[in-house]
Amino acid sequence: MLCLLFAANLNAQIHRGKFSIIAFFTAKNDLAHISFVHEANKWFLKMGKKYHFTYDSSNNWNNLNAGFLSHYQVVIFLDTRPEDSLQRLAFKKYMEHGGAWMGFHFSAFALTPSDFPMNWDWYHNQFLGSGSYVSNTWRPTSAILRVEDPNHPATKNLPHTFKSAPNEWYRWQHDLRKNPDIDILVSIDSSSFPLGTGPKQSEIWHSGYYPVVWTNKKYKMIYFNMGHNDMDYEHKYDTTSRTLSSTFSSKWEDELIINSLLWLGKRGLFLKNN
């Protein structure tokens, strides 16, 4: 039944010459993530009109089921991941049957102990390959990013290096360079160091290798570490708290995201019978 739903929807989308996206979000608690979600929902709607795709968003994670997903060629996780076991199973089956996924920033976060513990092995270790979150830079700052795979459709026409929008950058448990399934597309260039302003010294990176965009060749997926705006944290409890940066303010970063989305969407939904 799952395959029949996907196949029927694929034929309809091909006929209309479009593809459809559903973005899931939570947008609670963290001001920077909430800011990014609001910005992303507006930006993707605007890009849909320009690049001929439809964009829907939902904060109801119960919609992460086979029937609902059958209407969409691409799923986006804007800020979190599903926590319910049935939602997780539906997403896994969706990806294993040819669905496509794009994830941003906190959607890959897992840390035990925390509100988002390391309790989904397939997603964090196999699908993303990154494992647990380890640390981050602070405060949100721009970085010089380096294209690692210039031959991938996502990095088409991008310069070798470019300046990102401000972001909080993550470090991961696993070295993605050692995973043969992972294709690292973009990393932090060494000219970015020192990266971060602190106040803690551990929040300032002075060296190291940090992937920020990658794909898993076993799936139609791409992950972006971007998605954390700089905020007026000094007044975070005031009604005057303001967003100080925009994730979609870098020309080349925007192009990377659009290239990636078109790559995912226009590949269609090729179903597997297993």
Task: Write out pLDDT tens, residues 144-157.
Answer: 999 999 999 999 99
Higher pLDDT, 15 or 152: 152
Could you give the maximum distance between any two Cα atoms of the chain, in Å? 55
Domain extents in the chain: 2-132+213-266
Separation of alpha carbons 129 and 176, rounded Å: 7
pLDDT tens for each residue of 66-100? 999 999 999 999 999 999 999 999 999 999 999 99
pTM for this predicted structure: 0.91
Mean pLDDT of 265-274: 51
CATH tag, 2-132+213-266: 3.40.50
Q: Count CA atoms closer than 13 A to 206's CA, side-chain side.
A: 3
Separation of alpha carbons 136 and 73, rounded Å: 32
pLDDT tens for each residue of 161-183? 999 999 999 999 999 999 999 99
Between CA 201 and CA 130, with CA 160 as vertex, the angle to 5 degrees is: 50
Separation of alpha carbons 189 and 45, rounded Å: 31
The H or E element containing residue 137 is none
CA distances 97 to 6, 56, 66, 92, 181, Å, are: 9, 21, 11, 9, 18
Higher pLDDT, 250 or 241: 250
pLDDT at 273 over 60: no
CA distances 236 to 27, 33, 169, 227, 243, Å, are: 16, 13, 21, 18, 10
